[in-house]
Amino acid sequence: MFPMVPFESLRIRLSDRYESYARWWQPVRPRGAVLYLHGIQSHGLWFEASARRLAEAGFAVLLPDRRGSGRNDADRGHLPSAKRLLADLSDCINEIHVRTGFTRVHIVGVSWGGKLALALLGYLPGRVASLALVAPGLYPKVDLPFYQKIKVAWSIINRSSALFPIPLQDAELFTVNPDRQVFILNDSLALHHVTSGFLRASRRLDRIAHCAARAAEPCPLRLFLAEHDRIIDNRKTRDFVRGLDWPERDIVEYQGAHHTLEFEPDPEPFLRDLVDWIASQPAERPLAASLPTNDHSYTDRFPAARLENVE
């Protein structure tokens, strides 16, 4: 176990010049690297505990706030396209490579970030070492009401930037832990509304993720489920993973738990399992890397990933 590793706050300049905030943990001699993807409403602060545990186990961890969410005020609640978001993650992986020398990264995707992680596997073949999908949003139970979907469709046709509420306003959907419910209710950085452009990109990511599961080169995958999840459909998600023709995949489900496993009254079983599983993956020898000495992005050194594969 490495000593406690404090995080550094970064501003990553993405390839379209958008500046995105991120948390960065880097042990002295990392054994691997992790890209951590949060959910639709959450942001990096929600998952500092598990990111820190991964860092203390020897992994460099990049936990970005997705564009338009968390500490990113520009274009709040908006995504230009699924292509752009996947390009953002390509930029993040390039940032990890420059800072550590690792060319392949482990991906942790929580809730909405789970389908994004799976989509990334097809977008960047050869760059994903493993996938940890934590209550992934592949089959949500919660959705917009029909009348709102009509408004979204109209907004997309008319290229409007109208905002729509995320149907996850009840903190009890995430956890029954009273302290964490208070945290969610008082979280001024949580995202509560998204644009029709975001919703269109999200639907596109659904298709990309399912196509990637069938066509991409497999990697080790572990699915983490909460027994009493009210946000995602565990049965459909479990059946989806069981149906993958991948040599390395398994499922762990926590009895009595709710959607945000990090917020359980005792999150230790989940935190331990997440770290142990990623640590069990084969280690990679890093290539030579030029370590940055400030908070500016180094993604300009890399060409943007090809986007034609996505749409």
Determine the Cα–Cα distance for residues 51 and 44; give it in Å rounded to an integer: 9
Give 245's contacts (C-beta < 8 A, 6+ positions apart): 218
- Using the CB atoms, write b or e for 83-111: b if 16+ within 10 Å: bbbbbbbbbbbbbbbbbbbbbbbbbbbbb
pLDDT at 204: 93
Local confidence pLDDT in tens for the 311 residues of the chain: 566 778 899 999 999 999 999 999 999 999 999 999 999 999 999 999 999 999 999 999 999 999 999 999 999 999 999 999 999 999 999 999 999 999 999 999 999 999 999 999 999 989 999 999 999 999 999 776 766 667 666 676 666 678 888 988 899 999 999 999 999 999 999 999 999 999 999 999 999 999 999 888 899 999 999 999 999 999 999 999 999 999 999 999 999 999 999 999 999 999 999 999 999 999 887 876 544 433 444 333 333 333 333 33
Q: What is the dihedral of CA 95, 114, 47, 274, to 10 degrees?
A: -100
- Is residue 8 within 8 A of residue 87, CB to CB? The reply is no
Q: What is the pLDDT of residue 164?
A: 85
**pLDDT number for residue 155:** 75
pLDDT digits (tens, 9 = 90+) for 112-145: 999 999 999 999 989 999 999 999 999 999 776 7
Tokens 């306003």 locate to 169
Distant-in-sequence, close-in-space partners of 195: CB < 8 Å, separation ≥ 6:
77, 78, 79, 155, 161, 162, 163, 164
Instruction: Dump pLDDT digits (tens) for 231-252.
Output: 999 999 999 999 999 999 999 9
Please state, in angstroms and rounded to a whole number, the distance separating the CA atoms of residues 180 and 262.
10
Rounded Cα distance between 229 and 77, Å, is 25
pLDDT of residue 309: 32
DSSP 8-state class, residue 135:
S
Q: Which residue's structure tokens are 């990679």?
A: 284
Residues in the chain, total: 311
How far is the first Cα of the chain from the last one, in angstroms, to the nearest whole number?
Answer: 43
pTM: 0.90
Site of tokens 């109208």? 162
Q: What is the Cα Rg of the chain in Å?
A: 18
How many angstroms separate the CA atoms of 86 and 75, rounded? 17
Distance from C-alpha of 169 to C-alpha of 160, rounded to nearest angstrom: 24
Q: 8-282 belongs to which homologous superfamily?
A: Alpha/Beta hydrolase fold, catalytic domain (3.40.50.1820)
Question: In the chain, what are the domain boundaries?
Answer: 8-282
CA distance 161 to 215: 33
